[in-house]
Amino acid sequence: MSSITNHLPTAELQALDAAHHMHPFTANGGLAQKGARVITSGNGVMLTDSEGAQILDAMAGLWCVNIGYGREELADVAARQMRELPFYNTFFQTTHTPVIALAAKLAELAPGDLNNVFFAGSGSEANDTNIRMVRHYWAMQGKPQKSVIISRKNAYHGSTVGSGSLGGMSGMHAQGGLPIPDIHHINQPNWWSEGGEMSPEDFGRARAQELEQAILDLGEDRVAAFIAEPVQGAGGVIVAPDSYWPEIQRICDKYEILLIADEVICGFGRTGEWFGSQTLNIRPDVMTIAKGLSSGYAPIGGSIVSDEIASVIAQDEFNHGYTYSGHPVASAVALENLRILEEEDIVGHVRNIAAPYLQEKWQALTEHPLVGEAKMVGLMGSIALTPDKSARVPFKAEAGTVGYICRERCFANNLIMRHVGDRMIVSPPLVIQPDEIDLLIERAWKSLDECHSELRKEGLV
């Protein structure tokens, strides 16, 4: 193996990491005490750490390693592109073959008239593009007052000032002066936690109608767009009741509000179709893409927009762009990733094999005393932990306490499953095979059992 695997002892790496590396979304003081786990390599759905442990990555990194770790083809393409043309910009009347090929491929894959791609380095940057582009679109039509973007509480759209404002994470809004003006948040369609006595269908419709109410309150002439993830990811894999999306689509159509589908997680096969919008039968005007676009092998994101929006934006200079918009190496890697997804019919594997197999076993987790509901769309799923399934009540501890305990048990059992509050979530590489799903479920049961006995000791169940 390469020299990368010859490394300092784990404790020394952890000490250096603690001394100099500021981790995102982390209480770095606490982590420094404990020591970060050092991941050294990956293959398929498995990671190896610096102690040689084999960890099943049921999160595909951060929801992104759709084709799995260790695909040589992507490394080869990156090396070739770096030798040929490592960088060139697309600002000043130039272009290059990787970005041309990738834009054309995305236009082919994306539904409807979503045929135009504005590239970014990440999902956050792409959503910043969207804020400016949809507002500019309406301004170009003589309606500059149409600038409000409606989003949802507990949505995740990124971590820059703009995209973090679009998101509805209260913990993020509490730091650094977010949100920016003219972003409005309505409630999320999370029936388990917020549905009360309503049926899921009535609740879904009611939550969708909050969009209509917001448009009427703000004034139709003020609202530019509605943005949402087809399935909320970082918010806890919240799957809206079936009544939700048809109602949202009806409202967007009725009031001519642009619909932005944030496909950063749902895109590129995660839901069993190329895009979550296809699975949920919605017709976005803009799709945000990143993560699975390159399977995380290179940082790249973008906005795929309708012919209508692109033609309006094209009438004048759009004063926006990133140095790395359409980066040639990232574009070449993304294109190769799409080739593999397509030629190996990985989306078909999700739809016909992996998702049905995992979904059945995932549903069976509700037989565990701690698990209230189990939800899954394609290969993204969540379970709600609860001390009382029928009452759907939370634990008598701060939200997230139990989720954290469960996550720690998973981590100790070499299973990467994340927690959001007291929901446990999975989003494995799309190439996961049935025997690997068996291992995932086996480790999940063991971790849930261990979590359960810990909660008994602490009097939380």
Q: How many CA atoms lie within 13 A of 255 on its CB side?
A: 26
Q: How far is the CB of 234 from ligand PLP (least distance, A)?
A: 5
Across 58-164, the runs of DSSP E, i.e. the strands, are: 114-120, 148-152
Cβ closer to ligand PLP: 371 or 380?
380
234 is a contact residue toward ligand PLP (CB under 6 A): yes
Radius of gyration of the chain (CA): 22
262 is a contact residue toward ligand PLP (CB under 6 A): yes
Q: How far is the CB of 167 from ligand PLP (least distance, A)?
A: 8
Q: Residue 140: count other Cβ atoms within 10 Å of its Cβ.
A: 16
Q: Give me the phi and psi of 314, to 5 degrees please.
A: -70, -15
Helix/strand/coil for 90 = coil
122-130, 215-223, 373-381, 395-403 -> range binding ligand PLP (CB under 6 A): 122-130
Nearest-CB residue to ligand PLP?
Answer: 123
Cβ closer to ligand PLP: 293 or 410?
293
152-160, 279-287, 332-340, 433-441 -> range binding ligand PLP (CB under 6 A): 152-160
Residues in CB range of 12: below 8 A, 6 or more apart: none
Asked if residues 231 and 155 have their Cβ atoms less than 8 Å apart, the reply is no
Q: How far is the CB of 301 from ligand PLP (least distance, A)?
A: 6
Cβ closer to ligand PLP: 94 or 323?
323
156 is a contact residue toward ligand PLP (CB under 6 A): yes
| Among 269, 301, 302, 378, contact with ligand PLP (rule: CB under 6 A) | 301
Cβ closer to ligand PLP: 135 or 152?
152
Helix/strand/coil for 121 = coil
282 is a contact residue toward ligand PLP (CB under 6 A): no
122 is a contact residue toward ligand PLP (CB under 6 A): yes
For residues 371 to 410, the per-residue mask of contacts with ligand PLP, x marking binding by CB under 6 A and - elsewhere, is ----------------------------------------
Asked if residues 285 and 259 have their Cβ atoms less than 8 Å apart, the reply is yes
289-307 in b/e form (b: 16+ CB < 10 A) is bbbbbbbbbbbbbbbbbbe
230 is a contact residue toward ligand PLP (CB under 6 A): no
Cα 102 to Cα 298: distance, rounded to the nearest angstrom: 14
Nearest of 397, 403, 399 to residue 385 by alpha carbon? 403
- Which residues of the chain form contacts with ligand PLP (CB under 6 A)? 122-124, 127, 156-158, 229, 233-234, 262, 264-265, 290-291, 301
